[in-house]
């Protein structure tokens, strides 16, 4: 029997939330929770974790990339493009994933997204 989508990761979410309550600056847990929330459709909670991670790790390209994904899911294209550009400035280079990541679907036809892809490739 399959759990409904909103229950699929609840055990892990509960577990990591309990760790985060004891250590609110655990960046590994923050990143994991952000991903779990997003998988469960809890986009606002995922965005909150991604923002927190960027505050704690301002020079981490993956943190900025994950923030760009959450912002895209919230239909905040301009903010998402800025975060994605920052991720690239900090060294994010996985073009293949950028082009297939479903979280970025809302940006893929945007001229600025295409320019960022071209910038990475060159």
Is this model's pTM higher than 0.85 or not? yes
pLDDT (tens digit per residue) in 21-48: 999 999 999 999 999 999 999 999 999 9
pLDDT (tens digit per residue) in 60-111: 999 999 999 999 999 999 999 999 999 999 999 999 999 999 999 999 999 9
Domain that holds residue 100: 5-121
Domain total for the chain? 1
**Confidence band of 8 (pLDDT split at 50, 70, 90):** confident
* 63: Cβ contacts below 8 Å, ≥ 6 apart: 31, 50, 53, 54, 57
3-state secondary structure of 75: coil
Using alpha carbons, list the distances in angstroms from residue 121 to 50, 69, 78, 94: 26, 20, 22, 10
Residue 23, burial from CB neighbour count under 10 angstroms (0-12, 13-18, 19+): exposed
Domain harbouring 16, CATH code: 1.25.40.10
């Amino acid at each position: 029997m399959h759990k409904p989508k909103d229950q699929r990761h609840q055990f892990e979410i509960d577990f990591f939330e309990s760790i985060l309550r004891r250590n609110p600056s655990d960046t590994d847990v923050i990143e994991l929770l952000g991903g779990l929330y997003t998988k469960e459709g809890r986009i606002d909670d995922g965005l909150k974790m991604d923002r927190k991670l960027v505050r704690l790790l301002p020079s981490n390209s993956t943190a900025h990339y994950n923030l760009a994904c959450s912002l895209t899911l919230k239909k905040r294209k301009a903010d998402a493009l800025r975060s994605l550009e920052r991720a690239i400035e900090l060294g994010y280079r996985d073009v293949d994933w950028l082009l297939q990541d479903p979280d970025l679907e809302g940006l893929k036809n945007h001229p600025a997204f295409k320019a960022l892809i071209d910038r990475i490739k060159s």
